[in-house]
A and B are shown apart, each in its own frame.
Chain A
Protein backbone atom coordinates (compact mmCIF):
# COMPACT_ATOMS: atom_id res chain seq x y z
CA UNK A 1 0.00 0.00 0.00
CA UNK A 2 1.35 3.41 -0.94
CA UNK A 3 1.79 6.30 1.43
CA UNK A 4 -0.11 9.39 0.34
CA UNK A 5 -0.19 12.94 1.63
CA UNK A 6 -3.59 13.68 3.11
CA UNK A 7 -5.07 16.35 5.33
CA UNK A 8 -6.72 14.98 8.44
CA UNK A 9 -10.28 15.72 7.42
CA UNK A 10 -9.81 14.12 4.02
CA UNK A 11 -8.06 11.11 5.56
CA UNK A 12 -11.11 10.40 7.71
CA UNK A 13 -13.27 10.59 4.61
CA UNK A 14 -11.06 8.30 2.56
CA UNK A 15 -10.80 5.77 5.37
CA UNK A 16 -14.58 5.86 5.86
CA UNK A 17 -15.24 5.20 2.19
CA UNK A 18 -12.72 2.37 2.16
CA UNK A 19 -14.16 0.94 5.36
CA UNK A 20 -17.52 0.55 3.64
CA UNK A 21 -19.38 3.57 4.96
CA UNK A 22 -22.52 3.67 2.84
CA UNK A 23 -24.28 6.72 4.23
CA UNK A 24 -22.88 10.07 5.29
CA UNK A 25 -25.10 12.83 6.63
CA UNK A 26 -23.48 16.12 7.55
CA UNK A 27 -23.78 19.85 7.88
CA UNK A 28 -21.26 22.63 7.31
CA UNK A 29 -19.27 23.77 10.35
CA UNK A 30 -15.68 24.86 10.66
CA UNK A 31 -13.17 23.16 11.05
CA UNK A 32 -14.51 19.97 9.50
CA UNK A 33 -16.03 21.14 6.22
CA UNK A 34 -13.35 19.42 4.20
CA UNK A 35 -14.62 16.10 5.52
CA UNK A 36 -18.21 16.83 4.53
CA UNK A 37 -17.03 18.00 1.11
CA UNK A 38 -14.81 14.93 0.70
CA UNK A 39 -17.84 12.73 1.28
CA UNK A 40 -19.87 14.80 -1.20
CA UNK A 41 -17.19 14.23 -3.79
CA UNK A 42 -16.59 10.56 -3.09
CA UNK A 43 -19.80 9.09 -1.72
CA UNK A 44 -22.66 10.95 -3.35
CA UNK A 45 -22.42 9.24 -6.73
CA UNK A 46 -21.04 5.93 -5.50
CA UNK A 47 -23.53 3.12 -6.25
CA UNK A 48 -25.60 2.12 -3.24
CA UNK A 49 -24.26 5.05 -1.22
CA UNK A 50 -25.84 8.23 0.06
CA UNK A 51 -24.51 11.67 0.84
CA UNK A 52 -26.91 14.24 2.24
CA UNK A 53 -26.07 17.70 3.45
CA UNK A 54 -28.89 17.74 5.96
CA UNK A 55 -30.87 20.76 7.11
CA UNK A 56 -29.22 20.69 10.53
CA UNK A 57 -26.91 18.61 12.67
CA UNK A 58 -30.01 17.31 14.43
CA UNK A 59 -31.46 16.05 11.17
CA UNK A 60 -28.11 14.52 10.25
CA UNK A 61 -27.78 12.41 13.40
CA UNK A 62 -31.37 11.23 12.99
CA UNK A 63 -30.65 10.21 9.41
CA UNK A 64 -27.67 8.24 10.72
CA UNK A 65 -30.05 6.57 13.18
CA UNK A 66 -32.42 5.63 10.34
CA UNK A 67 -29.66 4.31 8.10
CA UNK A 68 -28.17 2.33 10.97
CA UNK A 69 -31.53 0.76 11.78
CA UNK A 70 -31.71 -0.30 8.14
CA UNK A 71 -28.39 -2.15 8.59
CA UNK A 72 -25.70 -0.07 6.88
CA UNK A 73 -22.55 1.72 8.03
CA UNK A 74 -23.44 5.36 8.57
CA UNK A 75 -21.49 8.37 9.70
CA UNK A 76 -21.85 12.02 10.58
CA UNK A 77 -19.36 14.70 11.55
CA UNK A 78 -19.41 18.11 13.15
CA UNK A 79 -17.69 20.33 15.71
CA UNK A 80 -18.61 21.61 19.18
CA UNK A 81 -21.98 23.36 18.74
CA UNK A 82 -23.15 20.80 16.20
CA UNK A 83 -22.12 17.90 18.41
CA UNK A 84 -24.17 19.47 21.20
CA UNK A 85 -27.17 19.41 18.88
CA UNK A 86 -26.61 15.73 18.17
CA UNK A 87 -26.71 14.60 21.79
CA UNK A 88 -30.33 13.49 21.82
CA UNK A 89 -29.75 11.45 18.70
CA UNK A 90 -26.63 9.87 20.18
CA UNK A 91 -28.55 8.93 23.30
CA UNK A 92 -31.15 7.26 21.08
CA UNK A 93 -28.45 5.39 19.14
CA UNK A 94 -26.92 4.15 22.37
CA UNK A 95 -30.30 3.21 23.82
CA UNK A 96 -31.40 1.29 20.73
CA UNK A 97 -27.97 -0.36 20.46
CA UNK A 98 -27.30 0.89 16.97
CA UNK A 99 -23.85 1.30 15.47
CA UNK A 100 -22.81 4.68 14.11
CA UNK A 101 -19.67 6.76 13.77
CA UNK A 102 -19.72 10.38 14.90
CA UNK A 103 -16.69 12.57 14.22
CA UNK A 104 -16.02 15.65 16.32
CA UNK A 105 -13.27 17.92 15.05
CA UNK A 106 -13.27 20.03 18.21
CA UNK A 107 -12.97 23.78 18.30
CA UNK A 108 -12.81 26.40 21.05
CA UNK A 109 -15.83 26.70 23.26
CA UNK A 110 -18.17 27.21 24.97
CA UNK A 111 -20.84 28.91 22.87
CA UNK A 112 -20.09 29.76 19.29
CA UNK A 113 -16.49 29.80 20.53
CA UNK A 114 -13.66 29.94 18.05
CA UNK A 115 -12.72 27.96 14.97
CA UNK A 116 -9.30 27.03 16.30
CA UNK A 117 -8.42 23.64 17.74
CA UNK A 118 -9.30 22.82 21.32
CA UNK A 119 -9.93 19.77 23.44
CA UNK A 120 -12.83 21.08 25.50
CA UNK A 121 -15.38 18.49 24.35
CA UNK A 122 -13.72 15.63 26.26
CA UNK A 123 -16.32 15.47 29.03
CA UNK A 124 -19.17 15.72 26.56
CA UNK A 125 -17.70 12.87 24.57
CA UNK A 126 -16.62 10.50 27.31
CA UNK A 127 -19.21 10.99 30.01
CA UNK A 128 -22.28 10.57 27.84
CA UNK A 129 -23.07 14.05 26.53
CA UNK A 130 -26.75 13.24 26.11
CA UNK A 131 -29.36 12.25 28.64
CA UNK A 132 -29.47 8.95 30.42
CA UNK A 133 -26.92 6.40 31.55
CA UNK A 134 -24.88 5.43 28.53
CA UNK A 135 -21.45 5.81 27.06
CA UNK A 136 -20.09 5.89 23.56
CA UNK A 137 -16.73 4.47 22.60
CA UNK A 138 -14.42 7.47 22.18
CA UNK A 139 -11.21 7.37 20.18
CA UNK A 140 -8.52 10.08 20.46
CA UNK A 141 -6.29 10.14 17.37
CA UNK A 142 -3.06 12.04 17.50
CA UNK A 143 -1.92 12.07 13.86
CA UNK A 144 -3.38 11.91 10.38
CA UNK A 145 -2.39 8.24 10.18
CA UNK A 146 -4.27 7.61 13.38
CA UNK A 147 -7.29 9.50 12.08
CA UNK A 148 -7.40 7.02 9.22
CA UNK A 149 -6.67 3.92 11.32
CA UNK A 150 -9.16 4.85 14.00
CA UNK A 151 -11.86 5.52 11.41
CA UNK A 152 -11.62 1.89 10.32
CA UNK A 153 -11.54 0.83 13.95
CA UNK A 154 -14.55 2.99 14.74
CA UNK A 155 -16.75 1.21 12.21
CA UNK A 156 -15.45 -2.21 13.24
CA UNK A 157 -15.98 -1.66 16.96
CA UNK A 158 -19.33 -0.01 16.47
CA UNK A 159 -20.67 -2.96 14.47
CA UNK A 160 -19.13 -5.48 16.85
CA UNK A 161 -20.45 -4.00 20.08
CA UNK A 162 -23.54 -2.16 18.75
CA UNK A 163 -22.36 0.99 20.46
CA UNK A 164 -21.96 4.37 18.74
CA UNK A 165 -18.34 5.45 18.38
CA UNK A 166 -17.07 9.01 18.55
CA UNK A 167 -13.80 10.02 16.96
CA UNK A 168 -12.63 12.97 19.04
CA UNK A 169 -10.31 14.96 16.80
CA UNK A 170 -9.75 18.67 16.62
CA UNK A 171 -9.31 21.50 14.16
CA UNK A 172 -5.57 21.17 13.94
CA UNK A 173 -5.55 17.46 13.20
CA UNK A 174 -8.20 18.09 10.60
CA UNK A 175 -6.16 20.66 8.75
CA UNK A 176 -2.64 19.24 8.99
CA UNK A 177 -1.18 17.24 6.17
CA UNK A 178 0.83 14.08 6.79
CA UNK A 179 1.62 10.84 4.97
CA UNK A 180 -1.05 8.15 5.36
CA UNK A 181 -1.41 4.51 4.44
CA UNK A 182 -4.95 3.18 4.27
CA UNK A 183 -5.44 -0.25 5.83
CA UNK A 184 -7.80 -1.90 3.42
CA UNK A 185 -10.68 -1.46 1.05
CA UNK A 186 -13.97 -3.07 1.99
CA UNK A 187 -15.98 -4.97 -0.67
CA UNK A 188 -18.27 -2.82 -2.83
CA UNK A 189 -21.31 -3.33 -0.64
CA UNK A 190 -20.97 -4.77 2.82
CA UNK A 191 -23.51 -7.35 3.98
CA UNK A 192 -26.45 -5.88 5.87
CA UNK A 193 -26.37 -6.27 9.65
CA UNK A 194 -28.30 -9.24 10.99
CA UNK A 195 -30.42 -7.16 13.36
CA UNK A 196 -31.43 -4.63 10.70
CA UNK A 197 -35.02 -3.65 10.03
CA UNK A 198 -35.70 -4.46 6.40
CA UNK A 199 -39.38 -5.30 6.39
CA UNK A 200 -41.04 -8.34 7.95
CA UNK A 201 -40.49 -10.79 5.14
CA UNK A 202 -40.40 -14.41 6.23
CA UNK A 203 -40.27 -13.46 9.90
CA UNK A 204 -42.48 -11.76 12.49
CA UNK A 205 -42.41 -7.96 12.45
CA UNK A 206 -39.94 -6.34 14.83
CA UNK A 207 -39.70 -3.01 16.48
CA UNK A 208 -36.68 -1.06 17.67
CA UNK A 209 -37.41 1.13 20.64
CA UNK A 210 -36.49 1.88 24.17
CA UNK A 211 -39.53 3.74 25.42
CA UNK A 212 -41.34 1.60 27.90
CA UNK A 213 -44.05 2.10 30.47
CA UNK A 214 -42.25 -0.51 32.57
CA UNK A 215 -39.22 0.91 34.42
CA UNK A 216 -37.92 -2.59 35.19
CA UNK A 217 -37.54 -3.23 31.49
CA UNK A 218 -35.51 -0.04 31.13
CA UNK A 219 -33.47 -0.95 34.20
CA UNK A 220 -32.50 -4.23 32.57
CA UNK A 221 -31.48 -2.41 29.39
CA UNK A 222 -29.24 -0.12 31.43
CA UNK A 223 -27.58 -3.05 33.21
CA UNK A 224 -27.00 -4.82 29.91
CA UNK A 225 -25.45 -1.73 28.34
CA UNK A 226 -23.08 -1.36 31.26
CA UNK A 227 -22.09 -5.05 31.15
CA UNK A 228 -21.04 -4.37 27.57
CA UNK A 229 -19.03 -1.34 28.65
CA UNK A 230 -17.25 -3.54 31.18
CA UNK A 231 -16.38 -5.90 28.36
CA UNK A 232 -14.95 -2.97 26.43
CA UNK A 233 -12.83 -2.08 29.44
CA UNK A 234 -11.36 -5.56 29.40
CA UNK A 235 -10.89 -6.05 25.67
CA UNK A 236 -10.55 -2.77 23.81
CA UNK A 237 -8.40 -0.35 25.77
CA UNK A 238 -5.68 1.37 23.71
CA UNK A 239 -2.91 3.68 24.84
CA UNK A 240 0.70 4.66 24.16
CA UNK A 241 3.58 4.71 26.60
CA UNK A 242 6.27 7.08 25.37
CA UNK A 243 9.53 7.01 27.37
CA UNK A 244 7.67 6.18 30.56
CA UNK A 245 9.88 3.32 31.71
CA UNK A 246 12.44 5.44 33.55
CA UNK A 247 10.37 8.61 33.77
CA UNK A 248 10.24 10.53 37.04
CA UNK A 249 7.51 12.83 35.69
CA UNK A 250 4.82 11.52 33.39
CA UNK A 251 2.78 13.81 31.20
CA UNK A 252 -0.75 12.65 30.41
CA UNK A 253 -2.23 14.02 27.20
CA UNK A 254 -4.44 12.95 24.31
CA UNK A 255 -4.93 13.85 20.67
CA UNK A 256 -3.14 16.93 19.38
CA UNK A 257 -2.08 17.77 22.92
CA UNK A 258 0.00 14.62 22.96
CA UNK A 259 1.84 15.70 19.79
CA UNK A 260 2.80 18.98 21.46
CA UNK A 261 3.71 17.08 24.62
CA UNK A 262 6.04 14.75 22.70
CA UNK A 263 7.86 17.77 21.34
CA UNK A 264 8.29 19.18 24.84
CA UNK A 265 9.37 15.80 26.23
CA UNK A 266 12.00 15.32 23.53
CA UNK A 267 13.44 18.69 24.44
CA UNK A 268 13.26 17.89 28.16
CA UNK A 269 15.13 14.64 27.61
CA UNK A 270 17.75 16.65 25.79
CA UNK A 271 18.24 18.58 29.05
CA UNK A 272 18.56 15.34 30.96
CA UNK A 273 15.07 15.36 32.50
CA UNK A 274 13.51 11.95 32.73
CA UNK A 275 10.04 12.71 31.43
CA UNK A 276 7.59 10.45 29.65
CA UNK A 277 4.13 10.56 28.14
CA UNK A 278 1.12 8.36 28.79
CA UNK A 279 -1.30 8.82 25.92
CA UNK A 280 -4.76 7.27 26.09
CA UNK A 281 -6.02 6.40 22.62
CA UNK A 282 -9.34 4.98 23.72
CA UNK A 283 -10.73 7.81 25.86
CA UNK A 284 -13.64 5.52 26.59
CA UNK A 285 -12.83 2.85 27.67
CA UNK A 286 -10.15 4.81 29.50
CA UNK A 287 -6.90 2.88 30.15
CA UNK A 288 -7.28 3.13 33.92
CA UNK A 289 -5.31 0.09 34.98
CA UNK A 290 -2.45 0.82 32.62
CA UNK A 291 -2.15 4.37 33.95
CA UNK A 292 -2.29 3.20 37.53
CA UNK A 293 0.55 0.78 36.74
CA UNK A 294 2.79 3.77 36.10
CA UNK A 295 2.25 5.00 39.65
CA UNK A 296 4.43 2.08 40.74
CA UNK A 297 7.50 3.80 39.29
CA UNK A 298 6.65 7.47 39.63
CA UNK A 299 4.49 9.67 41.81
CA UNK A 300 4.41 12.76 39.63
CA UNK A 301 2.05 13.38 36.77
CA UNK A 302 1.39 16.46 34.68
CA UNK A 303 -1.88 16.51 32.82
CA UNK A 304 -1.68 18.69 29.72
CA UNK A 305 -4.81 19.57 27.74
CA UNK A 306 -6.16 22.27 25.49
CA UNK A 307 -9.03 23.01 27.85
CA UNK A 308 -9.67 23.89 31.51
CA UNK A 309 -8.92 20.37 32.70
CA UNK A 310 -11.24 17.54 31.67
CA UNK A 311 -9.24 14.37 31.12
CA UNK A 312 -7.48 15.20 34.38
CA UNK A 313 -10.56 13.86 36.21
CA UNK A 314 -10.11 10.48 34.57
CA UNK A 315 -6.37 10.59 35.30
CA UNK A 316 -7.01 11.24 38.99
CA UNK A 317 -9.77 8.63 39.15
CA UNK A 318 -7.47 6.07 37.54
CA UNK A 319 -4.58 6.79 39.91
CA UNK A 320 -6.90 6.52 42.92
CA UNK A 321 -4.69 8.87 44.89
CA UNK A 322 -1.50 6.99 44.01
CA UNK A 323 0.21 10.03 42.52
CA UNK A 324 0.28 13.82 42.48
CA UNK A 325 -1.32 15.34 39.41
CA UNK A 326 -0.53 18.86 38.23
CA UNK A 327 -2.31 20.54 35.35
CA UNK A 328 -1.34 22.79 32.51
CA UNK A 329 -3.90 23.89 29.94
CA UNK A 330 -4.83 26.55 27.41
CA UNK A 331 -8.51 26.86 26.52
CA UNK A 332 -10.45 28.69 23.85
CA UNK A 333 -8.56 27.51 20.79
CA UNK A 334 -5.16 28.82 21.83
CA UNK A 335 -2.49 26.41 20.60
CA UNK A 336 0.20 25.98 23.23
CA UNK A 337 3.77 25.52 22.05
CA UNK A 338 6.04 22.69 23.06
CA UNK A 339 8.43 25.32 24.45
CA UNK A 340 5.88 26.69 26.92
CA UNK A 341 5.05 23.17 28.02
CA UNK A 342 8.76 22.50 28.42
CA UNK A 343 8.97 25.46 30.80
CA UNK A 344 6.14 24.02 32.89
CA UNK A 345 7.77 20.59 32.83
CA UNK A 346 11.12 21.89 33.99
CA UNK A 347 9.53 24.03 36.69
CA UNK A 348 7.67 21.04 38.12
CA UNK A 349 10.73 18.82 37.68
CA UNK A 350 12.86 21.16 39.78
CA UNK A 351 10.13 22.10 42.28
CA UNK A 352 9.51 18.44 43.11
CA UNK A 353 13.23 17.74 43.28
CA UNK A 354 13.13 15.12 40.54
CA UNK A 355 16.53 15.93 39.08
Chain B
Protein backbone atom coordinates (compact mmCIF):
# COMPACT_ATOMS: atom_id res chain seq x y z
CA UNK B 1 0.00 0.00 0.00
CA UNK B 2 1.47 3.32 -1.05
CA UNK B 3 0.68 6.49 0.81
CA UNK B 4 1.49 10.15 1.05
CA UNK B 5 0.69 12.95 3.49
CA UNK B 6 0.46 16.70 3.14
CA UNK B 7 1.13 18.78 6.27
CA UNK B 8 -0.32 22.30 6.44
CA UNK B 9 2.62 23.93 8.18
CA UNK B 10 0.61 27.10 8.86
CA UNK B 11 -1.80 25.16 11.10
CA UNK B 12 0.91 23.10 12.82
CA UNK B 13 1.67 24.00 16.44
CA UNK B 14 4.78 21.86 16.69
CA UNK B 15 3.33 19.45 19.27
CA UNK B 16 5.43 16.64 17.74
CA UNK B 17 2.73 14.01 18.24
CA UNK B 18 2.77 13.00 14.57
CA UNK B 19 6.52 12.55 14.87
CA UNK B 20 6.07 10.32 17.93
CA UNK B 21 3.34 8.19 16.38
CA UNK B 22 4.55 7.69 12.82
CA UNK B 23 5.49 3.99 12.76
CA UNK B 24 8.11 4.65 10.10
CA UNK B 25 9.63 7.87 11.48
CA UNK B 26 8.88 9.75 8.30
CA UNK B 27 8.14 13.07 10.02
CA UNK B 28 10.64 15.43 11.57
CA UNK B 29 10.56 18.90 13.05
CA UNK B 30 11.35 21.65 10.62
CA UNK B 31 14.01 24.16 11.64
CA UNK B 32 12.13 27.13 10.22
CA UNK B 33 9.48 28.86 12.33
CA UNK B 34 5.99 29.25 10.89
CA UNK B 35 4.02 32.51 11.08
CA UNK B 36 2.55 31.56 14.45
CA UNK B 37 6.02 31.09 15.94
CA UNK B 38 6.05 27.30 16.07
CA UNK B 39 8.53 24.89 14.53
CA UNK B 40 6.17 22.84 12.35
CA UNK B 41 6.41 19.20 11.35
CA UNK B 42 7.80 18.24 7.99
CA UNK B 43 7.16 15.07 5.90
CA UNK B 44 10.22 13.27 4.57
CA UNK B 45 8.84 11.37 1.61
CA UNK B 46 11.24 8.43 1.39
CA UNK B 47 8.62 6.49 -0.52
CA UNK B 48 7.69 4.07 2.26
CA UNK B 49 4.67 5.90 3.69
CA UNK B 50 1.78 3.42 3.59
CA UNK B 51 -1.00 5.89 4.37
CA UNK B 52 -1.78 4.41 7.81
CA UNK B 53 -3.02 7.91 8.82
CA UNK B 54 -1.75 7.59 12.41
CA UNK B 55 -0.22 11.04 12.06
CA UNK B 56 -3.49 12.58 10.90
CA UNK B 57 -5.48 10.82 13.59
CA UNK B 58 -3.26 12.20 16.35
CA UNK B 59 -2.86 15.66 14.86
CA UNK B 60 -4.90 18.02 17.06
CA UNK B 61 -4.93 20.75 14.42
CA UNK B 62 -6.35 18.66 11.54
CA UNK B 63 -3.25 19.84 9.72
CA UNK B 64 -2.52 16.60 7.90
CA UNK B 65 -4.21 15.19 4.83
CA UNK B 66 -3.55 11.57 3.94
CA UNK B 67 -3.58 9.99 0.50
CA UNK B 68 -3.53 6.30 -0.23
CA UNK B 69 -3.53 4.17 -3.38
A and B touch in the complex (CB under 8 A): no
A contact set with B: CB distance below 8 Å: none
B contact set with A: CB distance below 8 Å: none
